[in-house]
Amino acid sequence: MATLQMLTTPSLFYVFVAFLYTIVVVSGQFTRFSKLELPPGVIGPESAAFRGLILSEGPFTTVDDGRILKWQGPTVGFVDFAYTSPARTKQFCDGTTDPNKGPICGRPLALTFQPTTGILYIVDAFLGLLAVGPNGGLATQLAGGFKFLNGVDVDLLTGNVYFSDVSLTYDIRNTTQPGFKPDSTGRFLRYNTLTRQVSVLLTGLSGGGGPAVSYDGTFVLVPELGGNRISKYWLLGPKANTVEPFVGNVGNPNKIKRAARNGEFWVAVSNGLVPPAPLITPQGVRFNSNGVVLQTVSFATQFFNKTISLVQEQNGNLYVGSRFTNFIGVYSN
């Protein structure tokens, strides 16, 4: 009763409204959930990207059967946009979940648009680093000979492409085989779009994840899925070309994406993946450029006991990707 009476006095009422506004609108708790369903039989929307800054298109997503699909709205759903393997046929590959078809069908795991040119950069677990133009279709390989690429981002200032290689010894198929043990042979690499050369920037990483370049191009964040940490690799300034610890104790960070607010990031975390725990708790964690955690959002209800690979903020929503679902989760306020 006391509380209600207090709320009926105008000043406290406005304080209360302002308080609610802060929680719901400014911080955003992302409590509403909906799904963008993949076509029947298709699974594994590991990543997502949007094209265009104001009237954005998408999400575009990479799926298990080797395609890159584009969301065309609720009445049409997802349609074909691009693919990575020249050997891929729709008849043999569409809808497949057979990992052994990966080398033929392709298995794209991450994608990012270069906003000024509309070029889509893709890493594929079997086919390396690729790019495709604004109309999609068969992507062109830029660099090959890798065992297991899984993250990519483009530096908005220089156009350089940063990507990660999970391992020198095992590929994506091995990760689900009995007795599989991850190692620490992961690498962080750069593709220079002018010279078309690949440079190895870091070696000895414990599993890959998706790197993210800061919006001002001063650094790139490099996650280690099995190492439970994120490092900061400086690109500009006095510490350029050196690496330092950024955040430790992150439970299995996979892809990192720039958040809507400049200088902030979202990382997809799957606590309990490595070493394996009885229950995986998937979360989105938002942090600033100094590694201070600003927010944690749990996805455990809709992604119960599942690993997630991506949290992408777009127009105030969080798009959540997983290798094990037939939908992209959309969390909104």
How far is the C-alpha of 211 from the C-alpha of 162, rounded, in Å? 7
* String of contacts with ligand NAG for each residue 172-211, x by CB under 6 A: -xx-------------------------------------
| Per-residue three-class SS string for 232-274 | EEECCCCCCCCEEEEECCCCCEEEEEECCCCCEEEEEEEECCC
Task: Pick the closer one to ligand NAG by CB: 174 or 314.
Answer: 174
The verdict on 170 binding ligand NAG (CB under 6 A) reads yes
* String of contacts with ligand NAG for each residue 5-34, x by CB under 6 A: ------------------------------
Task: Pick the closer one to ligand NAG by CB: 218 or 305.
Answer: 305
Q: In Å, what is the CA distance from 301 to each residue of 161, 305, 330?
A: 35, 9, 13
Please confirm whether the linkage preceding 59 is cis (ω < 30° from 0): yes
The CA-based angle 270-308-261, given to 5 degrees, is 95
How far is the C-alpha of 141 from the C-alpha of 128, rounded, in Å? 7
- The one-letter amino acid at 75: T
> Please, are residues 256 and 266 in contact by the beta-carbon 8 Å criterion?
yes
Please tell me the count of residues contacting ligand NAG according to CB under 6 A.
8
Q: How many CB atoms lie within 10 A of CB 100?
A: 9
The distance of closest approach from Cβ of residue 92 to ligand NAG in the complex, given in angstroms and rounded to an integer, is 18
Of 26, 53, 55, 279, the one binding ligand NAG by CB under 6 A: 279
Q: Mark the segment that binds ligand NAG (CB under 6 A) among 14-22, 78-86, 163-171, 248-256.
A: 163-171
> Please, are residues 235 and 244 in contact by the beta-carbon 8 Å criterion?
no
Of 22, 169, 192, 332, the one binding ligand NAG by CB under 6 A: 169
The distance of closest approach from Cβ of residue 173 to ligand NAG in the complex, given in angstroms and rounded to an integer, is 5
Task: Pick the closer one to ligand NAG by CB: 234 or 324.
Answer: 324
The distance of closest approach from Cβ of residue 138 to ligand NAG in the complex, given in angstroms and rounded to an integer, is 25
Task: Pick the closer one to ligand NAG by CB: 135 or 177.
Answer: 177
Task: Pick the closer one to ligand NAG by CB: 167 or 231.
Answer: 167
Please confirm whether the linkage preceding 275 is cis (ω < 30° from 0): yes
Q: Mark the segment that binds ligand NAG (CB under 6 A) among 142-150, 170-178, 203-211, 212-220.
A: 170-178
The verdict on 301 binding ligand NAG (CB under 6 A) reads no
Of 278, 290, 301, 315, the one binding ligand NAG by CB under 6 A: 278
What residues form DSSP beta bridges with 202?
Answer: 188
The CA-based angle 232-233-234, given to 5 degrees, is 110
Binding site for ligand NAG (CB under 6 A): 169-171, 173-174, 278-279, 305
